[in-house]
Amino acid sequence: MEKILDRFLRYVAVDTQSDPQSESQPSAAKELDLLRILRDELLAMGVEASLDEYGYVMASIPSNCGKDVPAIGFIAHVDTSPDASGCGIKPQIIENYDGSEIPLKGVDGLSLKVSDFPELLNYKGQTIITTDGTTLLGADDKAGVAEIMDAVQYIVSHPEFRHGPIKIGFTPDEEIGRGVVKFDVSKFGADYAYTMDGGAVGELEYENFNAAAADVHIQGRNIHPGYAKGKMLNAILIGMELNDLLPREQRPELTCGYEGFYHIISFNGTVEEATFSYIIRDHDMELYEQKKAFMEKCVAQINEKYGEGVATVKIKHQYYNMRKVVEPHIHIVEKAQRAMEMEGIVPDVKPIRGGTDGANLSYMGLPCPNIFAGGHNFHGKMEFVPLESMEKASRVILNILKLFAE
């Protein structure tokens, strides 16, 4: 049986970065490289599995418990974030971590410091996998992929393990908000499911942000600077002025818990024209709608000052808070809590300050809370995951299946 560490290292070696500029499904053909590997590994283990044209791997393991119990699904995404390179990942493996600073080899002076990341001390004595400082690691969500595959390997190798119907799903493009756009819930066949896409050990989430993307376009007027007085409209400066109209205290670096935010994620422009891209987030639906309306109000204010059409905004909804549709099935959250307690884990039930495929799946008729995958500092060079956290997540999957089969 392959160890979960070796499996994880194989998966992160495959570049699967999704592409937000692409209109295809999946957004990047290279995502299919890992999806094919996963399909073939499932087939090699004797599991019925398929890969469709949209990049969805779906697999099924029949019940062996002799009872009429719900079909339970486990889902993870294979793509990595566009926020940092996912190519040529060279993980560092720190065994028996002693609580000290972890230098990252790729960049002089870059390191994981306890002063910056005090949660490192929770993993003293464990094996920590980090980046080398030049790429992200890909624990989001290849840790989840490895955990599910590790659990499948255990199940097929231990026929005495009793369980109901099991459904396995691997998806592309979660990081760009399109992970389950064409996911066929009825074909998948699960009654309930869990995404293995959370953070630290114990995390369990059935609430997430309501989410939208906003692209603000500023049309300036470029005049020779020597003759610009009263004529030039500098699109860069006008965009900065609009950004300053947004409440400073509602930036992600100044918020936590249930607090929402406006987050500028990119800027591209010249004096003539500029684009400012934002994401808008809030757990509360009313506050979410207010944030979108306020963004439009800021655009109107700019136009009132500089002229109609100088600023335009396109706001695109991305996903809703899944609490509304999961809470009527709260027993699936309680099962996950009990499954963690069986491993000596204290469940940490809290809202996701982000989103998962499970949010959209829940609104598509498949209630789908989110369980920890074990990683920290996703989407950047400081990402790391403890090996023991992945091992615990795999056992939690098995415990959930046991509880449903009882």
Question: CATH number for the domain including 279?
Answer: 3.30.70.360
Report phi then psi at 106, rounded to 5: -70, -30
Do 191 and 308 reside in the same domain of the chain? Answer: no
Other beta carbons less than 10 A from residue 33's beta carbon:
13
Which residue range is the domain that position 305 belongs to? 210-319
Choose the final residue of a domain: 293, 319, 345: 319
Mean pLDDT by 10 residues, the chain (406 residues): 96 96 95 98 98 98 96 97 93 97 81 95 97 94 98 98 98 92 97 96 96 97 97 98 98 96 96 97 97 98 98 94 96 98 96 87 96 95 97 98 97
d(CA 368, CA 381): 29
Residue with tokens 């829940």: 362
Residue 313: strand pairing partners: 216
142 shares its domain with 104:
yes
Q: Distance between CA 279 and CA 251 in Å, rounded?
A: 10
Residue 199 shares a structural domain with residue 93 = yes
Query: Do 314 and 355 share a domain, yes or no?
Result: no
Distance CA 98, CA 344 (A): 23
188 and 249 inside one domain: no
C-alpha 104/C-alpha 211 separation (Å) is: 34
Structure tokens at 197: 């896409």
CA distance 287 to 289: 5
Contact 35, 54 (CB under 8 A): no
At residue 1, the pLDDT reads 82
Same structural domain, 339 and 384: yes
Task: Please give the pLDDT value at position 106.
Answer: 64
Could you say which of 265, 298, 319 is where a domain stops?
A: 319
Q: Do 230 and 309 have their domain in common?
A: yes
Give yes or no for a contact between 163 and 340, defined as CB atoms under 8 angstroms apart: no
Residues 155 and 276 in one domain: no
Q: How many domains does the chain have?
A: 2
Within this chain, do residues 142 and 12 fall inside the same structural domain, yes or no? Answer: yes
- Identify the residue whose tokens are 């500023």: 218
| 295 and 374 co-located in one domain | no
Q: Provide the angle, in degrees to the nearest 10, between the axes of the packed helices 387-405 and 331-341.
A: 130
Give yes or no: residues 40 and 96 share one domain.
yes
Just list the catalytic residues. Answer: 79, 174
Parallel/antiparallel/unpaired status of strands 210-219 and 203-205: unpaired
| Residue that is written with structure tokens 């979410």 in the block | 288
Residue where a domain terminates, one of 275, 296, 319: 319
Confidence at residue 11, expressed as pLDDT on a 0 to 100 scale? 98
**Domain co-membership, 21 together with 109:** yes
pLDDT for res 229: 97
Q: What is the CATH number of the domain that holds 362?
A: 3.40.630.10
